[in-house]
């Protein structure tokens, strides 16, 4: 039975913490995002609002103020606050911790309890698992904007436009919401370390995971903080933004409705301008891959409403370090509502226990998928295919959520597979190969190849932007 140990607020600990002197971000900083994050805002503080004792774990519900974004003259609420939920198992074995980046809104005035899957994962892995909400802090009312209560991509796109229309000026860098989003997660990591050091045992490193906008933030947190030892960016299949979006247009002949916030602000017309490229250098993970050498599991959706099904090909070969991929068949951007899938936990566990992941090498050439699996490992291998006779479009609301059909592949003695994919009589076919290692264990691990689309032709001409006035 759970029992509440304390409902009282504890004293705010900020006063006992030293803060570095604020500094001005300058073009002389080789990495302005890192400089921004490392500057502790004077409003930073936290307090434990509730401590819950479970059967084999302790849960902390923490009110965290991560810092200030912009001013009262620019936005209705510049101070960002979040609910940070921590689950600490009684049998705490690991010094690594999983940090989940979540969304939410500022109307969540009651502490957010840990979900069962989060508690189960903490107990199963013997590690601290945390979740931070309100990334980004929303909704916000921008004083110069006529639209009230701006959420999610609309919030981010508004800041992008301010930066772009301002000529990518140095003083406009903080308008990029990725700056405070990244800072908030880093402050949450600081808090987890402080609480664990005082009440349990030290947490030394973090595995960071988040989905969509939080997936992008997963990349940027890893780039600025050396404590990050592994990441799982989820449904953010858009590294190398410019060619990815050019591909998007030639597949669809339009911008998918899911990215209307950027289209409506005119952002897409800025692609390939000097201002847009300057912005990408500040916040786009592809621009700082040399900082991203930790193990990674990229989890994407075959039916994503935001990103084209084969966007991996614009960044995969350029990633550094150990990289693993999973395209989940027959799900859209929400992954059926779960952003803490079992596979993420399996990968996280393998990284914190130094468990060797069986080798799985693959490449795609023409209309053929080549795969090589460690023949000594226990695994299951499958082929998934989907056909859209009408276009190069596999979004969930276009093809449905049963379009991808699975076929088991017979296990080969040498673990080498050559899998040709035939083009359909009409339209386009998508295909991938999926391998499940240790399928009957407590922690099976699913990996896939990238997706192959055949024929490899475009149904639409390249995007021609209407150049923004400057």
Are both 355 and 369 inside the same structural domain? Answer: no
Domain count within the chain: 2
Are both 274 and 413 inside the same structural domain? Answer: no
For residue 81, being part of any structural domain is answered with: yes
Q: Which helix (H) or strand (E) holds 275?
A: helix 274-283
Verify cis geometry, omega within 30 degrees of 0, for the bond prior to 395: no
- Domain housing 250: 29-359
Are both 291 and 314 inside the same structural domain? Answer: yes
For residue 142, being part of any structural domain is answered with: yes
Are both 247 and 339 inside the same structural domain? Answer: yes
- N- to C-terminal Cα distance for the chain? 63
The H helix count followed by the E strand count for the chain is 10, 18
CB 165 within 8 A of CB 22: no
What 3-state DSSP class applies to 239?
A: coil
For residue 10, being part of any structural domain is answered with: no
Structure tokens at 298: 């990229």
Are both 418 and 272 inside the same structural domain? Answer: no
Alpha carbon of residue 388 to chain centroid: 28
Are both 287 and 409 inside the same structural domain? Answer: no
For residue 293, being part of any structural domain is answered with: yes
Are both 297 and 421 inside the same structural domain? Answer: no
Structure tokens at 13: 């600990």
Q: Please enumerate in sequence order all residues whose Cβ is within 8 A of that of 285, keeping only pairs 6 or more positions apart, or say none.
A: 216, 219, 220, 223, 239, 292
Q: Give the domain CATH number at 162.
A: 3.40.50.1820
For residue 8, being part of any structural domain is answered with: no
Structure tokens at 319: 């990633």
Are both 447 and 338 inside the same structural domain? Answer: no
Spans of the chain, pLDDT less than 70: 1-29, 337-340, 469-470
Q: Which residue has the tokens 């604020």?
A: 22
Question: Alpha-carbon distance 322 to 128, whole Å?
Answer: 23
pLDDT of the residue at 337: 58
What 3-state DSSP class applies to 335?
A: helix
Are both 354 and 368 inside the same structural domain? Answer: no
**Partners of 464 in beta bridges:** none
**Partners of 46 in beta bridges:** 64
Neighbours of 462 (CB within 10 A): 9
CB 463 within 8 A of CB 259: no
Q: Please enumerate in sequence order all residues whose Cβ is within 8 A of that of 395, keeping only pairs 6 or more positions apart, or say none.
A: 256, 303, 304, 305, 332
Q: Please enumerate in sequence order all residues whose Cβ is within 8 A of that of 89, keeping only pairs 6 or more positions apart, or say none.
A: 56, 57, 122, 123, 125, 126, 127, 128
For residue 466, being part of any structural domain is answered with: no
Q: Give the domain CATH number at 404.
A: 2.60.40
Of 308, 334, 359, which closes a domain? Answer: 359
Are both 179 and 61 inside the same structural domain? Answer: yes
Of 359, 377, 392, which closes a domain? Answer: 359
For residue 209, being part of any structural domain is answered with: yes
Are both 322 and 366 inside the same structural domain? Answer: no
pLDDT of the residue at 191: 99
Question: Alpha-carbon distance 143 to 132, whole Å?
Answer: 27
Are both 347 and 376 inside the same structural domain? Answer: no
Of 359, 382, 414, which closes a domain? Answer: 359
Alpha carbon of residue 24 to chain centroid: 28
pLDDT of the residue at 148: 78
pLDDT tens per residue, range 81-94: 999 999 999 999 99
Question: Alpha-carbon distance 306 to 298, whole Å?
Answer: 16
Q: Which runs of consecutive H residues, i.e. helices, occur in 169-229?
A: 178-199, 213-224
Question: Alpha-carbon distance 448 to 382, whole Å?
Answer: 9
Question: Alpha-carbon distance 223 to 33, whole Å?
Answer: 9
For residue 338, being part of any structural domain is answered with: yes
pLDDT tens per residue, range 135-178: 999 999 999 877 778 999 999 999 999 999 999 999 999 999 99
What 3-state DSSP class applies to 154?
A: helix
Structure tokens at 179: 């700056």
């Amino acid at each position: 039975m759970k029992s509440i140990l304390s409902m009282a607020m504890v004293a705010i600990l900020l006063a006992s913490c030293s803060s570095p002197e604020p500094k001005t971000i300058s073009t002389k900083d080789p990495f302005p995002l890192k400089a921004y994050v490392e500057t502790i805002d004077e409003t930073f503080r936290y307090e434990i609002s509730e401590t819950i004792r479970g059967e084999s774990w302790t849960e902390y519900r923490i009110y965290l103020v991560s810092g200030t974004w912009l001013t009262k003259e620019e936005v209705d609420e510049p101070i960002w606050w979040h609910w940070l939920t921590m689950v600490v198992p009684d049998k705490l074995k690991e010094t690594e911790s999983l940090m989940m980046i979540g969304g939410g809104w500022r109307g969540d005035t009651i502490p957010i309890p840990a979900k069962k899957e989060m508690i189960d994962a903490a107990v199963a892995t013997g590690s601290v698992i945390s979740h931070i909400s309100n990334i980004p802090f929303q909704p916000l009312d921008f004083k110069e904007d006529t639209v009230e209560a701006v959420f999610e991509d609309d919030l981010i796109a508004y800041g992008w436009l301010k930066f772009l229309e301002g000529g990518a000026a140095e003083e406009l860098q903080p308008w990029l919401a990725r700056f405070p989003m990244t800072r908030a997660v880093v402050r949450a990591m600081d808090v987890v370390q402080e609480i664990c050091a005082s009440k349990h045992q030290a947490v030394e490193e973090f595995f960071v995971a988040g989905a969509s906008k939080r997936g992008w933030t997963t990349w940027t947190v890893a780039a600025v903080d050396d404590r990050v030892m592994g990441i799982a960016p989820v449904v953010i299949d858009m590294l190398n933004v410019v060619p990815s979006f050019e591909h998007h247009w030639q597949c669809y002949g339009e911008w998918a409705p899911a990215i209307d916030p950027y289209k409506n602000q005119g952002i897409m017309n800025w692609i390939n301008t000097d201002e847009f490229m300057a912005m990408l250098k500040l916040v786009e993970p592809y621009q700082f891959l040399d900082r991203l050498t930790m193990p990674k599991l990229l989890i994407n959706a075959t039916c994503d409403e935001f990103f084209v099904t084969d966007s991996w090909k614009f960044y995969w070969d350029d990633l550094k370090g150990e990289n693993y991929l999973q395209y989940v068949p027959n799900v859209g951007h929400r992954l059926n509502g779960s952003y803490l899938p079992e596979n993420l936990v399996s990968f996280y566990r393998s990284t914190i226990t130094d468990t060797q992941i069986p080798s799985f090498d693959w490449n795609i050439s023409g209309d053929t998928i080549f795969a090589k699996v460690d023949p000594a490992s226990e695994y299951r291998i499958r082929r998934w295919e989907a056909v859209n006779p009408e276009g190069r479009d596999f979004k969930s609301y276009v093809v449905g959520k049963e379009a991808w059909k699975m076929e088991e592949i017979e296990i080969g003695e040498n673990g080498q597979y050559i899998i040709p994919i035939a083009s359909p009589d009409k339209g386009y076919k998508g295909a991938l190969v999926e391998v499940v290692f240790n399928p009957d264990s407590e922690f099976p691990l699913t990996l896939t190849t990238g997706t192959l689309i055949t024929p490899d032709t475009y149904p639409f001409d390249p995007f021609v932007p209407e150049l923004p006035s400057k």
